[in-house]
C-alpha cells in the first residue's frame, strides 16, 4: 500500500463521527476467539438495570473491544498490508467503535438526564451571577 493510501484510510478511522451509520458486526474475533458482538450488545441493552455480574462482564468486554480496536489500528498504521486489507481493517475498526459507543451509553444517565442537569447548573450560575450583580445576600428573597 502506498503511503498516501494509508494516510487516507487512517483519516477515515480518526474522523469524528466516523462510526455513525456503520453497522455493528454480528461476530468479531477477540483474543483469537469468535465473539457474538451484536447479540451481546442487544442482550445488555434489553436488561432493566445491570446486575453486578453483568456490570463486570460489560467492563471486561469493553476492555477487550478497545484492545482489539487498538490492535487493528496499529496493523493499519504499520502493517505490510494491501489497500484492500486496509479497507477491511477500517471497516472492522469502525464496527468495533460503533459497538463501543453503544456499550458506553449503557448504565449512564442518558441524554435527557444530562440535559436536565446541564440546565439546572446553568440556572444556578445565572442566579449566582444576578445575586452578585444586584447585591443580594443569602438572607434576602430572590425574586
pLDDT tens per residue, range 51-81: 777 888 888 899 999 999 999 999 998 888 9
Q: With pLDDT > 70 as the criterion, what percentage of the chain qualifies?
A: 88
Please give the pLDDT value at position 55.
Answer: 83
> Grid cell 469468535 — which residue?
34
- How do the domains of the chain map onto residue ranges? 3-108, 110-143
pLDDT tens for residues 80-105?
899 999 999 999 999 999 888 888 87
Q: How far is CA 70 from CA 6, 75, 89, 112, 132, in A?
A: 16, 9, 11, 31, 49
CA distance linking residue 140 with residue 47, whole number of Å: 49
The count of residues in the chain is: 143
* Cα 33 from Cα 95, distance rounded (Å): 17
Question: Which H/E stretch holds residue 51?
Answer: none
pLDDT value at position 140? 52
Amino acid at each position: 500500500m502506498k503511503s498516501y493510501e494509508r494516510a487516507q484510510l487512517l483519516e477515515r478511522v480518526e474522523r469524528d463521527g466516523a462510526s455513525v451509520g456503520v453497522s455493528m458486526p454480528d461476530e468479531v474475533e477477540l483474543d483469537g476467539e469468535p465473539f457474538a458482538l451484536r447479540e451481546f450488545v442487544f442482550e445488555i441493552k434489553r436488561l432493566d438495570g445491570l446486575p453486578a455480574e453483568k456490570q463486570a462482564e460489560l467492563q471486561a468486554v469493553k476492555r477487550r473491544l478497545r484492545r482489539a480496536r487498538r490492535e487493528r489500528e496499529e496493523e493499519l498504521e504499520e502493517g505490510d498490508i494491501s489497500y484492500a486489507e486496509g479497507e477491511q481493517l477500517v471497516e472492522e475498526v469502525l464496527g468495533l467503535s460503533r459497538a463501543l459507543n453503544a456499550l458506553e451509553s449503557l448504565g449512564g444517565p442518558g441524554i435527557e438526564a444530562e440535559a436536565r442537569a446541564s440546565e439546572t447548573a446553568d440556572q444556578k450560575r445565572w442566579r449566582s451571577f444576578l445575586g452578585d450583580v444586584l447585591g443580594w445576600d443569602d438572607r434576602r428573597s430572590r425574586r
